[in-house]
Amino acid sequence: MADLLSFALLSFSSIIIVVNPLAATLIFVSLTGTLDKVARLKIAGEANRFALIILLLFAVAGGWILQLFGITIEAFRIAGGLLLFGIGMDMVYAKTSRTKMTATEKYERQDADDIAIMPLAIPMIAGPGAITSVIVLMNEAIVMGAAAIAIVILAAVTAIGLTYAMMQRSDDIVRRIGQREYRAVNRLMGMLLIAIAVQFIIIGLKTAFPILSGGTI
């Protein structure tokens, strides 16, 4: 029971932090600022629905996709940990992730119907970090049982649900939150994400090289 609780805390914290509903909402505001409320709500709904489909697809079929390319889960865990570490560092230093920044600049003048899919759904909401997290967590969940699998799926749904709810209330959020408050929250989330990333790397290394944990090769 304790292991399941720890896994639940890890799943919810890592997925929600990587999705980063607040940052996604602020980017959503910048991309849809010239549209009316009805159009903005439609875009928010489509973006989050598509992002959820992407995350659930990789949660269910991520292991098979890795096998198709001959990638071990240990290698993916270490690579994912490095990726999350980089995102966390950007958050700590109040920088926009390079992946998200490039996408924002590239698509900020794109038609409203296309904005929902890219860049909002991908890579703003369901980005490389979120996809990596669900694949790694689901791999652990399969070993732990049905309850753990349900936790990963619920964590993904919760993260997307929070993002959609914040986008629906984006006007109020923008009015109430200042840049200083946003940076403070973002840095705290970044520190947590760095810790999670380091844990991913440690577990990946120990699994790939049992000698590091006192085992035998």
pLDDT tens digits, residue range 55-114? 999 999 988 888 888 888 788 788 878 887 887 888 788 765 554 545 444 444 455 557
Q: Decide if pLDDT at 49 tops 60.
A: yes
Buried b (16+ CB within 10 A) or exposed e, 159-172: bbebbbebbbebee
| pLDDT tens-digit map of 141-168 | 999 999 999 999 999 999 999 999 999 9
Rounded Cα distance between 55 and 87, Å, is: 18
pTM value?
A: 0.76
Q: In 3D, which of 128, 194, 144, 190 has the Cα closest to residue 8?
A: 144
**Angle (CA) 139 188 95, round 5°:** 90
